[in-house]
Amino acid sequence: MNTNYTAVSRPSLSALEANKVLKNTYLLLSATLAFSAVMAVVSMAINVPPMAYIISLIASMVLGIFVLPKAANSSAGIGVIFLITGLLGFGLGSILSIYMAMSNGPQVVATALGGTGIIFLGLSGYALTSKKDFSFLGGFLFAGMMVVLLAIIASLFIQMPALSLTISAAVIMLMSGFILFDTSRIINGGETNYIMATYGIFLSIFNIFISQFNILGIMGDD
């Protein structure tokens, strides 16, 4: 009888833990997105130069790779994730301010923002309601990232709008896959650290927005 109770209680406990991680992830994700948006507005208000975007990307990458994994299991991890997302928002503001000064800039920003929201809510909603295991996407996503990185390096030497559009479209597809993959891992207990889960999903949302922004900007220039 104790064996039956244990067999029944373990899945329930696992489900409760997964739900707790999921709840904490979305709460922290909401907070970091809001903080990033505030920092973008601050950046736009003080007219930060475009170089700030590159600096913020490098700084956030270093923090995400070398600092966050070590701090994620302590309260310090929350401070680090806010620092990373704040830096990304601050750097992004320098790019947004340039587009906002253009005639169709506000429309481009609003469209990219709306498109990003639709993609995220649609994919995360599907993963949550279907509860499918998308772990099989891991290999494809890794291979896709390698191809995109090679394409980005090539774009530094080959200045072609078509190549830039292709890369941006590929990034949107990859990040969409990562949203399914990361959300599925949380639901199925594969990810138990809500700070790292927030970091992964935030980066997916950020990259989708940037890629849509790039596509709309290039098409708007034609």
Which pLDDT does position 1 carry in this prediction?
42
Which pLDDT does position 94 carry in this prediction?
93
pTM over 0.85: yes
Digits of tens for pLDDT over the chain (222 positions)?
Answer: 444 434 434 444 488 899 999 999 999 999 999 999 999 999 999 999 999 999 999 999 999 999 999 999 999 999 999 999 999 999 999 999 988 888 888 999 999 999 999 999 999 999 999 999 999 999 999 999 999 999 999 988 988 889 999 999 999 999 999 999 999 999 998 999 999 999 999 999 999 999 998 898 877 665
Which pLDDT does position 222 carry in this prediction?
53
Which pLDDT does position 31 carry in this prediction?
98
Which pLDDT does position 220 carry in this prediction?
63
For residue 71 the two structure tokens come to 């701090």
Which pLDDT does position 10 carry in this prediction?
44
Which pLDDT does position 221 carry in this prediction?
60
